[in-house]
């Protein structure tokens, strides 16, 4: 999975009954912010079904039981996108991400229909990055050739581990051989792809974690996403915690990952993201740089900027509820305007995840606030050794990266 849930953590929106067309007018009334220019816009498309719900997963995913309504869902996605057009009229879309769930359960014809609808309704940038999540248990060579022909130009493959024991512990439907075959198929059809792996898994040793990372690097993927397993609330693992490596063992794994990736030519540019030169994930960077994104599909989140305000939306999460409400043009379950008081924290919650930080002027560009509104907090963070800044850049120090939550929390009380 991609790190969208980290953005969603700040999306505890108040319920509203306003619908997109009404909201378009309401959100454009003059407010207190003044954005000189709107940020880049991305499109996120959520596919809510998977073969099996993994015990660690807290994403909006639902097990396929006897199939899923592909045609109805694709029609709903088009209707959802059409209804949102007034909110983004005239804006170019630079990246598209199809996530889930397991979007690679879509038929080749279904994916082609989806991307055709997107191109028909939106002005896509000529060099748009179009990413699709895929799980090894759903890989079929012919289908993935068709996905590539339809316009997907980047895959994100949920490997998690190459070790059969750990895959079983994680509830994955594939084994190590299927994981390797999936990477081979990706190599044959895509020149840009990401491998997702997790570490600090149940009963995992440092040597086993090393073998996973070395195996992944041997395939020379352009991008790696390496996540520490976390026991998220409301998951099976949260209710029935497995035995996982302690903090010291996890720290040793993090050190090992840093050394192996650096030696192989991967630069860590975000907490969990490592890339070869010129291969950073453009869609994810847009999140971390507080760009805009329109989310369509069950449970999808949006963050949209207007000249005088910034708003968030969330669609109905349950696929059945989403499909029922889309018919009424009422698919938005929650929406709210981000308050001035919350903007600095929301910006820093994302931007401080970037190892090299952000350009000083980006804060004002993306929030509409002057940098001096957070001067005291910046000074405090510097005094604690958590933050570095000069006239060009603001970034977490090494200590700030190690205690990122503490650094981000300083801006919550700003």
Q: What is the CATH number of the domain that holds 390?
A: 1.10.10.920
pLDDT at 1 over 50: no
Same domain, 211 and 67: yes
Q: How far does Cα 407 stand from its chain's mean position? A: 21
Domain membership flag for residue 314: no
pLDDT at 14 over 90: no
User: Are 179 and 219 contacting, i.e. CB atoms less than 8 angstroms apart?
Assistant: no
Q: How far does Cα 321 stand from its chain's mean position? A: 23
Higher pLDDT among residues 212 and 12, named by residue: 212
The C-alpha angle with vertex 73 and arms to 338 and 62, in degrees rounded to 5, equals: 75
The strand pairing partners of 224, in sequence order, are: 195, 274
Domain membership flag for residue 323: no
Phi, psi of 159 (to 5 degrees): -70, -50
User: Are 343 and 374 contacting, i.e. CB atoms less than 8 angstroms apart?
Assistant: no
Number of domains in the chain: 2
Domain membership flag for residue 359: yes
Domain membership flag for residue 11: yes
User: Are 354 and 363 contacting, i.e. CB atoms less than 8 angstroms apart?
Assistant: no
Reference 274, options 228, 227, 225; nearest CA is 225
Average pLDDT over residues 38-54: 95
Same domain, 226 and 122: yes
pLDDT of residue 385: 98
Reference 183, options 211, 163, 208, 155; nearest CA is 155
Report residue 263's pLDDT band, with 50, 70 and 90 as the boundaries: very high
Q: What is the largest CA-CA distance in the chain?
A: 59
Domain membership flag for residue 333: no
Q: Which two tokens stand for residue 95?
A: 């990246």
Same domain, 68 and 151: yes
Same domain, 260 and 347: no
Q: How far apart are CA 128 and CA 217, in angstroms?
A: 26
Same domain, 157 and 36: yes
Report residue 414's pLDDT band, with 50, 70 and 90 as the boundaries: low
**CA 284 to each of CA 3, 5, 280, 342: distance values in angstroms, whole numbers, following the listed order:** 8, 12, 8, 21
Same domain, 249 and 354: no
pLDDT at 8 over 70: no
- Per residue in 225-241, pLDDT (tens digit) is 999 999 899 888 889 99
pLDDT at 29 over 80: no
Higher pLDDT among residues 52 and 394, named by residue: 394
Q: Which of 248, 265, 287 is the last residue of a domain?
A: 287
Domain membership flag for residue 331: no
Domain membership flag for residue 399: yes
pLDDT of residue 33: 85
Q: What is the CATH number of the domain that holds 109?
A: 3.80.30.20
Report residue 413's pLDDT band, with 50, 70 and 90 as the boundaries: low
Structural domain of 391: 339-414
- Per residue in 364-396, pLDDT (tens digit) is 999 999 999 999 999 999 999 999 999 999 999
Q: Which of 287, 320, 352 is the last residue of a domain?
A: 287
pLDDT of residue 31: 47
Same domain, 60 and 177: yes
Q: Which of 287, 310, 328 is the last residue of a domain?
A: 287
Same domain, 75 and 172: yes
Same domain, 217 and 142: yes
Same domain, 234 and 360: no
* pTM (predicted TM-score): 0.90
pLDDT of residue 21: 38
Reference 37, options 307, 321, 267, 314; nearest CA is 307
- Per residue in 69-83, pLDDT (tens digit) is 999 999 999 999 999
Domain membership flag for residue 293: no
pLDDT at 145 over 60: yes
Same domain, 283 and 344: no
User: Are 253 and 200 contacting, i.e. CB atoms less than 8 angstroms apart?
Assistant: yes
Same domain, 15 and 135: yes
């Amino acid at each position: 999975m991609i790190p969208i849930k980290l953005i969603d953590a700040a999306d505890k929106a108040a319920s509203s009954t306003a619908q997109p067309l009404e909201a378009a007018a309401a959100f454009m009334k003059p407010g207190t912010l003044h954005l000189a220019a709107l940020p880049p816009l991305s499109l996120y498309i959520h596919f809510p079904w998977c073969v099996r719900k993994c015990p660690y997963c807290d994403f909006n995913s639902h097990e396929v039981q006897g199939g899923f309504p592909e045609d109805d869902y694709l029609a709903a996605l088009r209707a959802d996108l059409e209804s949102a057009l007034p909110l983004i009229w005239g804006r170019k879309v630079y990246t598209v991400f199809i996530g889930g769930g397991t979007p690679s359960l879509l038929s080749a014809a279904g994916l082609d229909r989806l991307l055709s609808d997107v191109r028909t309704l939106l002005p896509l940038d000529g060099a748009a990055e179009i990413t699709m999540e895929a799980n090894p248990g759903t890989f079929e060579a012919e289908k993935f050739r068709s996905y590539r022909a339809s316009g997907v130009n980047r895959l994100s493959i949920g490997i998690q581990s190459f070790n059969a024991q750990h895959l079983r512990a994680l509830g994955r439907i594939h084994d190590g051989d299927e994981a390797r075959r999936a990477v081979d198929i990706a190599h044959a059809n895509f020149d840009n792809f990401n491998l997702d792996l997790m570490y600090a898994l149940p009963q995992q040793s440092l040597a086993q974690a090393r073998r996973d990372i070395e195996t992944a690097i041997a395939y020379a993927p352009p991008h790696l996403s390496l996540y520490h397993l976390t026991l998220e609330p409301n998951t099976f693992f949260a209710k029935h915690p497995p035995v996982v490596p302690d903090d010291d063992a996890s720290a040793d794994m993090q050190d090992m990952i840093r050394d192996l990736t650096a030696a192989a030519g991967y630069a860590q540019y975000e907490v969990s993201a490592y890339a070869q030169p010129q291969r950073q994930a453009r869609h994810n960077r847009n999140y971390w740089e507080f760009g805009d994104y329109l989310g369509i599909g069950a449970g999808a989140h949006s963050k949209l900027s207007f000249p005088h305000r910034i708003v968030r939306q969330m669609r109905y999460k349950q696929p059945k509820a989403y499909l029922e409400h889309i018919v009424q043009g009422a698919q938005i379950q929650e929406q709210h305007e981000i308050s001035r008081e919350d903007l600095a924290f929301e910006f820093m919650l994302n931007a401080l995840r970037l190892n090299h930080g952000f350009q000083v002027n980006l804060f004002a560009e993306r929030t509409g606030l002057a940098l001096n509104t957070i001067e005291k907090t910046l000074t405090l963070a510097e005094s604690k050794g958590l933050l570095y800044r000069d006239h060009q850049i603001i970034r977490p120090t090494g200590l700030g990266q190690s205690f990122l939550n503490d650094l981000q929390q300083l801006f919550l009380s700003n």
